[in-house]
Amino acid sequence: MMIVVMVLSAVMIGATGVAGILTARQIRQTADAGNFSKVLFAADSGLEWGEYMFYNDKAACDKIDCPSDDNLCLLWPEFNEIGLKVKCSNNIITSSATYKNTSYVFSKKMQ
């Protein structure tokens, strides 16, 4: 009888440990999903801003590097926290955003 109780106790402790590890992973993935949505929005906005600058003021396109005093960084102060960079060279616009351990890059060839 005592052996059965010890075996069942060991099984329950093992199952509880596995459940705790899986729960911790789910919580971590949820936090990363929030960071990913911030980075995705920032990179997309940077690409759109780069397209606007490409057609209106090509020289200023390479100067988008939040945090800075650029209109894009001032319009959305969150981008200063995220870290947005937009580069325009050889008719290719590249927008990259990084926040904590998450980053995303959009690139578009202009004609």
φ and ψ of 95, to 5 deg: -115, 125
Region 70-85: mean pLDDT is: 66
User: Mean pLDDT in the chain?
Assistant: 79
Return the SS3 of 38.
Answer: helix
Return the SS3 of 47.
Answer: helix
Q: Name the most confidently modeled range: 3-12, 56-65, 93-102.
A: 3-12
Cα 27 to Cα 30: distance, rounded to the nearest angstrom: 5
Question: Which two tokens mark 15?
Answer: 């199952």
Residue-level pLDDT at 17:
87
Q: Which CA distances in Å does 43 have to 5, 9, 40, 46, 104?
A: 57, 51, 5, 5, 7
pLDDT tens across 19-36, in order?
A: 888 888 877 777 777 788
Amino acid at 104: Y
pLDDT tens across 45-75, in order?
A: 888 888 888 888 777 666 666 655 555 565 6
Q: In the chain, what percentage of residues exceed pLDDT 90?
A: 0
- Residue of higher predicted confidence among 18 and 73: 18
Amino acid at 101: N
Residue-level pLDDT at 5:
87
Decide if 49 contacts 42 (C-beta within 8 A).
Answer: no
Write down how long the chain is.
Answer: 111
DSSP string, 49-73: HHHHHHHH-HHHHTT-BSSSSSHHH
